[in-house]
């Protein structure tokens, strides 16, 4: 994990909140799934996690404090990944498996969407028609990126991912 700067993170939140429109009124009338609204809501959650981290950093050193801080940092990473900020997610995430997953998603987003793995189609038994041919590649997740929402496609066979 790179050095986490709480001051910088809080500063960034303050700046973002200053430029973001106030959506607290009329929230029922707007589509909650637009990238703009989703980002706004995640940033509110991010601010809450940052204030929790600030609180924990002021606590006396203990094993419990370390555990709680690590959980809070991983949560901060999750929220940043949800925002499509994988660099920011990787910078704060403690759990190495999550870091590896974020790196794979980041690579998938950067990859040419037409690029795919070489895994062949699979023939599976189908009760009604005998056999059907299926692609091992499936829509694993809908992700928010700088390009808006994309489908993260994952190969069940080799783990290859791309986003389109």
Structure token pair of residue 16: 């973002």
Q: Interface with Zn ion includes 37 (CB under 5 A)?
A: no
Q: One symbol per residue from 140 to 159: x for binding Zn ion (CB under 5 A), - otherwise; what is it? A: ---------------x-xx-
Structure token pair of residue 131: 């056999």
Strand partners of residue 67: none
- Name which of 23 and 117 has its Cβ closer to Zn ion: 117
Pairing of strands 137-145, 161-163: unpaired
| Distance of closest approach, residue 143 Cβ to Zn ion, in angstroms | 19
- Name which of 86 and 160 has its Cβ closer to Zn ion: 160
Structure token pair of residue 11: 């500063």
Place of tokens 């050095």: 3
| Distance of closest approach, residue 153 Cβ to Zn ion, in angstroms | 10
| Among positions 12, 94, 119, 140, the unique one binding Zn ion when judged by CB under 5 A | 119
Phi-psi label, residue 46: left if phi above 0, alpha if psi -120 to 50, beta otherwise? alpha
Distance of CA 81 to the CA centre of its chain: 2
| Distance of closest approach, residue 23 Cβ to Zn ion, in angstroms | 41
- Name which of 52 and 135 has its Cβ closer to Zn ion: 135
| Among positions 117, 135, 149, 151, the unique one binding Zn ion when judged by CB under 5 A | 117
- Which ranges in the chain belong to alpha helices (H)? 6-19, 35-57, 63-82, 86-92, 96-110
Return the range that interacts with Zn ion (CB under 5 A); candidates 2-10, 90-98, 116-124, 142-150. Answer: 116-124
Return the range that interacts with Zn ion (CB under 5 A); candidates 62-70, 89-97, 118-126, 144-152. Answer: 118-126
Strand partners of residue 154: 138, 161
Q: Which residues bind Zn ion (CB under 5 A)?
A: 117, 119, 155, 157-158, 160
């Amino acid at each position: 994990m790179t050095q986490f700067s709480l001051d910088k993170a809080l500063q960034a939140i303050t700046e973002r909140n200053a430029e973001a429109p106030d959506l607290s009124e009329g929230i029922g009338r707007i589509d909650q799934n637009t990238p703009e609204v989703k980002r706004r809501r995640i940033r509110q959650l991010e601010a809450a996690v940052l204030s929790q981290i600030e609180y924990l950093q002021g606590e006396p050193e203990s094993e419990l404090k370390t555990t709680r801080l690590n959980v809070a940092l991983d949560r901060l990473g999750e929220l940043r990944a949800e925002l499509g900020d994988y660099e920011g997610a990787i910078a704060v995430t403690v759990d190495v498996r999550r870091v590896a997953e974020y790196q794979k998603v980041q690579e998938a987003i950067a990859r040419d969407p037409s690029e795919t793995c070489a895994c062949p189609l699979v023939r599976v038994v189908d009760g009604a028609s005998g056999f059907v041919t299926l692609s091992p590649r499936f829509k694993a997740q809908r992700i928010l990126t700088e390009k808006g929402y994309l489908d993260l496609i994952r190969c069940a066979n080799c783990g290859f991912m791309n986003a389109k």
